[in-house]
Structure 1
């Protein structure tokens, strides 16, 4: 009852806590619903197949989300024959896929991204894609395509593949967005087979078919059925979902931390303001346990209402967040948010837990207040740093520095989250250190101003030194705001400056041909650039499940790049034929390859060939582990697409829009590339910085409004002592500016230490010096916003308090 009465009486003091918890539960609910909905799903083209066989998986320890190892053509034929004999199986269909995109009115339409939509007609049985009109493709120039293109049987259409555009006649239509050609035409366009679908007979038991298929497959692959069909999700979709998950996890972690921080700082500050109140309760017989229960009751009362409100808001905004992630390329196309009970109940429970954790430290302090505090008038704090606070401050600071070292040694994928955890620990440590830092900073700031002996300067200085906890409490939200904003923005401004192969080629280019409306460039588009430099990506498989990223280098690209390569052994002149390759030193050491050695390598089509290592180069000579000739990659990877072609001539190449390409100047291409990278970065920055900034700005406003409103008596005494209203407001403004300065300085220190650790780690990983570019615009904007908000939140309440009669307020 006393807790509820306190909330009703002091409801203004709980606005900040309510808003922080409400926003926290809203964000937690949104992220939880999106995370729960972002589970792997089987591709739609397998929707009609209950049992499938998947090839062995590749090693994923490097975090590259590489597709499974392809079967060799011989293994594929052997498995298909054996699986056809399984009881209950009417057909075993090897799933072949290739890049295909329609060209309508001279322009490619419906960019498929990384999705391979081309298939032989036999694969239609796996969806199943049934004809809505026309007939299956019979001739080499016939195609079955989706009704969404608006083309009827008999119409003509241009189909763009990795080879280039070709004219086809529409023989039929289906309800999906796939393109189906004859087996004879589709097979040469397709890469290796990784999935074989088993079309079961009517009434067949899928579990029995799967069990029998496992005996046939053995160690050659994996039989998937039922709930395990999600394992068939394309690795590109899995990578997209994983990237989105990292942002959501960072959002959830940052939300929980900042929510606890805001709630804890609000309650901690309220203890300072309510010291006499708690002393009075102790005087009339309240036990320390009852004081703690009262504060837990206050937190629980506010938490229930805030969590319920946040739950409603989170449920409404979760689909919006899901759409933003899809639009930003952080979730696969077609992703939708599903309402589920567990994330909703979990978010509500976490909201209450955050409230209770936030009030834990404050309740312990309140319980230690002695009855004599009811008679205390002075605001002087004799021990702003207790023994427990010293221990916590040192512990969290040391732990944060250790996490900085851990972040520096992490992979680039894990570095962001580890850096955020390090910053969180350092923020807690320096916040606990703040009461010890405040007197030193105040004296250091006022020392050069010693000649200014005015009353305003003296009152502001002594007030800050007297109420150390108040100054520290108002500086803490600024510390969080500036620390996170600068850290997050700075992490994405750190750029590597190594001798990457792509960069060395780009530096000499006068114009560039890039995709327009397509996921990459076909061979026909590449051939329009005479003597152009291009790279064709592929994947190689060696030693079982190991895989290596490789590049097929055109003659023009290799001639330009080799001048900046450092050869450790062998000769670059040997990279001429399809059975030769150049290897980076780290890859050579890992696999035991040496120059002159011939080794077996499995390509994208599943064929294993013997390839000779003609040269070993240093790691900073190329970003690709292996360099092959472009002809070698095309021979084994029929659907690989070129991302860019560099031209060095004075004339810009003429490229037909039907090829899904456009020619740009080198400067325009660099600006567009930077803009695209910045777009993805900005999404991440806006989400994380906006969230932390909103939270901590709330804490700044709430803390200062509470502090200023509680000092009405102090202001009245100053007025009765002869101070003018302007002088009192100047004192308040000076104290607020000092608090912002202290918080900003500590926050910048945290961000700088963490960013230096990240730079050191990236420099070590990339083998080159990484530049540390501080985000000055973000820094100045954040500090300026905090200062403006602090002045408004302190000066305005003080001005309202000064309107009251001085003697009445003093009384």
Structure 2
């Protein structure tokens, strides 16, 4: 079987090249993300945020590798229905057909892994550079090579290749030879029982997660938003063949003339081809729009929440001691953001968890005078001496934690549990008197100041950097948006590029077996330019399908995260990333259109007479 698989590969290498490419890029992306994640996890507290981001990146990378490789292999098998039917006609059994396809998957997996491992080293350098430039890891951070990654990469490459062809090989082996040759009956049926099952299952899961995320805390809502987008994308990809005929009819209404009718006929006739081409585009749009919309909505909700919480007029930023108690000032609430490491213990006094984060060193009475929100449990009035206020869900009131602040290690009693917040502010509150003086002196302090009616910023001239609360909140929101952009770039940067390459790859595979079809169209009277334009029009309709379904998948995420953010912020919050959507829409039409034109030009280069009677 391996020899027959190799002969098939050498004979139809343009069709298999796309499958090798998807395996190669999938292995490289997963390998790179895993190596950097392991190196960051062992680097200590400096890269805690990077570990979280790399965990998300690795999860999305694995999903994309499995999804894209599976859909690509299924598409290549579907493109070869006639070859497999001929094999059945000359005596090949169902088991032999399945073994042939699995042998091909094994061969392509080996080749993809062989190229993917060295490519992964290049991807790792790019990904590390990206993390350094965005400030998520220190400039000296360097991921280390691990010998065991070779086994993991081989498992990923071979595993996703074989898994990707299993379902397709089972379907191909069940098709009756004459039906496959005629492309009628079961051979032409795209919406199989498996498509219906997984489509409905994942769609129900996406809707359920959308409903749950509306009542989840911010961290849970963000995690659910990622899974919602993935589930919705898988569901709509499985159900996309239902949309292709409707898109064909719409194309026939919009695109008048023979080329429009030809594009409509091709869409209706090539439902599987159109659905397979749209699949990676659905996932790309769903992930990009969902993640951008989630981060933007969370950021806007945090800004609304912050404006409702702070009761002040000015913010004064100082380093070291500074006296702001001057005429005209009603209240001053200093807040110093210091890094902390908080350790919690189980019932048997064993270390159970270590939380790296930031604490705001405050004066409780002054803080209460300039902030509206109050703890869910306990009281800030008890925040004196060796005490701490923690985020919701961390530890209950009355428990004890150990906090490392600078070089000091303190046992602190939890006296208050803070409400859930979107702001991404301090994870803990500490009384200023327990924070070591050198830490306070070396860290900028932002003081919320309330002034008497008629007083202004002039009373605080020379005592620090003075700005209005509105400007300070706007600047904080802009910094938060920059951080969100960096997070988006890390999570979706290379993964989005992989999905985009998969889109191009799907278009190329779709055109690989259409040379005879294009030749027949030219023989019937169409010019080469008209055939190319018809192919581009058809690809435009397929692109529209991918964009619409991807947008619907992203919508499920935005609905859930908007409800969660609105519940916490106290008012409706939804930010739709229109700028990104515009770029994605224009880019998708440009990339798919250009690729379709190039492949159609290549397929129509030979004389049509030489192809009309040729075997496919």
User: Who is 1:679 aligned against?
Assistant: 482
Aligned residue runs from structure 1 range 263-342, under 5 A: 263-318=69-124, 321-322=127-128, 324-326=130-132, 328-331=134-137, 335-342=141-148
The answer for unaligned runs of 5 or more in structure 1 is 42-232, 515-520, 593-598
Give the C-alpha shift of residue 793 in structure 1: 1.5
Q: In structure 1, what is the equivalent of residue 508 of structure 2?
A: 705
* Count of aligned pairs: 584
The Cα of 1:421 is off from its aligned counterpart by: 2.6
TM-aligned CA distance change 1:625 to 1:458, over 3 Å: closer
C-alpha displacement of 1:479: 0.6
Among 148, 163, 171, the alignment partner of 1:365 is 171
Aligned pairs (5 A) from 1:65-144: none
Match of 2:525 in 1: 722
Give the equivalent residue in structure 2 for 1:249.
55
State yes or no: 1:534 paired with 2:334: yes
Partner-residue secondary structure (3-state), 2:458: coil
Aligned mates of 1:288, 1:611 — CA distance in 2: 67
Name 1:795's counterpart in structure 2.
597
1:433 aligned partner: 239
2:362 aligned counterpart, secondary structure: strand
Distance in 1 (CA, whole Å) between partners of 2:193 and 2:569 is 45
* Deviates most, 306-315 or 463-472: 306-315
The C-alpha deviation readout for 1:353-396, integer Å capped at 9, x for no partner, is 11111222222222223222564377996422122221222122
Which residue is equivalent to 2:288?
A: 485
Match of 1:203 in 2: none
Distance 1:693 1:608, change over 3 A: closer
1:750: Cα distance to partner? 0.8
Aligned to 2:539: 736
Is this contact kept in 2: 1:737–1:790, CA < 8 A? yes
Q: Is the 8 A contact 2:32 2:120 kept in 1?
A: yes
Aligned with residue 650 of structure 1, among 441, 450, 457: 457
Among residues 356, 362, 383, which one is paired with 1:552 in the alignment?
362
Name the CA distance, whole Å, in 2 between partners of 1:714 and 1:625: 63
1:355 counterpart residue number: 161
Task: Give the direction of change, closer, same or farther, for the CA distance of 1:273–1:558 in structure 2 (3 Å limit).
Answer: closer
Q: Which residue of 2 aligns with 1:68?
A: none
Residue 776 in structure 1 maps to residue 583 in structure 2: no
Sort the Cα spacing of 1:569 and 1:731 in 2 relative to 1 into closer, same or farther, 3 A. Answer: closer
Provide the TM-score with structure 1 as the length reference: 0.62
Shift of 1:280: 0.7
Distance in 2 between residues matched to 1:804 and 1:273, nearest whole Å: 21
Alpha-carbon distance change, 245 to 8 in structure 1, aligned in 2, over 3 angstroms? same
Secondary structure at the aligned position of 1:722 is classed as: coil
Question: Any idea what SS the aligned residue of 1:341 has?
Answer: coil
Q: How far apart are the structure 1 equivalents of 2:206 and 2:25? A: 26
Q: Based on CA coordinates, which of the two structures has the bigger radius of gyration?
A: 1
How much does 1:744 deviate? 0.7
Q: Take 1:542 and 1:686, find their aligned partners in 2: how far apart are those partners?
A: 31
What's the C-alpha RMSD, in Å, of the aligned pairs?
Answer: 4.6
- The question of whether the paired residues in 1 share the 8 Å contact of 2:385 and 2:433 is answered with no
Q: 2: distance between equivalents of 1:270 and 1:602?
A: 58
TM-score with structure 2 setting the length: 0.80
Pair 380,479 (structure 1): closer, same or farther in 2 beyond 3 Å? same
Q: Quote the residue 1:59 is aligned against.
A: none
1:175-197 per-residue CA deviation (whole Å, 9 max, x = no partner) reads xxxxxxxxxxxxxxxxxxxxxxx
Cα deviation 1:377-434 (Å, max 9, x = unaligned) = 7799642212222122212222333344455555534544443233222222211111
SS at match of 1:330: coil
Judged with a 3 Å threshold, the aligned counterparts in structure 2 of structure 1 residues 750 and 732 are, in CA distance, closer, same or farther, namely same
CA drift at 1:741: 0.8
Deviation, structure 1 residue 263: 2.0
Q: What is the distance in 1 between the residues matched to 2:376 and 2:220?
A: 32
Distance in 2 between the 1:325 and 1:665 partners? 33
The 2-side partners of 1:781 and 1:396 are apart by 28
Q: 1:740-755 maps to which residues of 2 (within 5 A)?
A: 740-755=543-558
Q: Does the Cα contact within 8 Å between 2:18 and 2:505 map onto a contact in 1?
A: yes
Tell me the CA shift for residue 279 of structure 1. 0.7
Judging by fraction of residues, say which structure has more helix.
2
- Please give the alpha-carbon distance, in whole angstroms, between the structure 1 residues aligned to 2:145 and 2:15: 34
**Aligned equivalent of 1:508, options 313, 334, 339:** 313
CA distance in 1, matches of 2:585, 2:487: 20
Contact 2:86/2:177, CA 8 A, preserved across alignment: yes
Which ranges of structure 2 fall in alignment gaps of 5 or more residues?
A: 348-354
Distance 1:543 1:250 in 2: 25
Secondary structure at 1:644 match in 2: strand
Indicate how the Cα distance of structure 1 residues 553 and 499 shifts in structure 2: closer, same or farther if over 3 A, else same.
Answer: farther
Give the whole-Å Cα distance in 1 for the aligned partners of 2:136 and 2:71. Answer: 34
Instruction: Please show how residues 192-207 of structure 1 align to structure 2 within 5 Å.
Output: none
Structure 2 residue aligned with 1:100 = none
Q: Deviations over 1:286-333 (max 9, x none)?
A: 122221222222222222122122212323553554454355443467
Is the CA contact (8 Å cut-off) linking 1:619 and 1:767 kept in structure 2? Answer: no
- Looking at structure 1, the residues matched to 378 and 57 of structure 2 have their Cα atoms a distance apart, in angstroms, of 50
**Distance in 1, Cα, partners of 2:57 & 2:375:** 45
- What is the alpha-carbon distance in structure 1 between the residues aligned to residue 413 and residue 513 of structure 2? 81
Q: 1:371 to 1:683 in 2, by over 3 A?
A: same
Deviations 1:636-688 (A, max 9, x none): 654344542346633396669xxxx7556767755653443333322222233
